[in-house]
Structure 1
Amino acid sequence: MPKQHPSSLHNRALDLLAEGRSVKDVAAELHLSRTTVYRWRHAYAHMTAHQFGSRRTPSELSAARARIAELESELRAHRRLAELLNDVVPPKGGSRPSR
Structure 2
Amino acid sequence: MGRRGYPPEFKRKVLDLLEAGRSVTDVARDLGISGQSIYTWRRKDRIDRGLVPGLNSVEKEELAAAKRRIAQLEMKLQATLRAMELVRKVVPPKDATRRSR
After TM superposition, the score normalised by the length of structure 1 is 0.45
After TM superposition, the score normalised by the length of structure 2 is 0.44
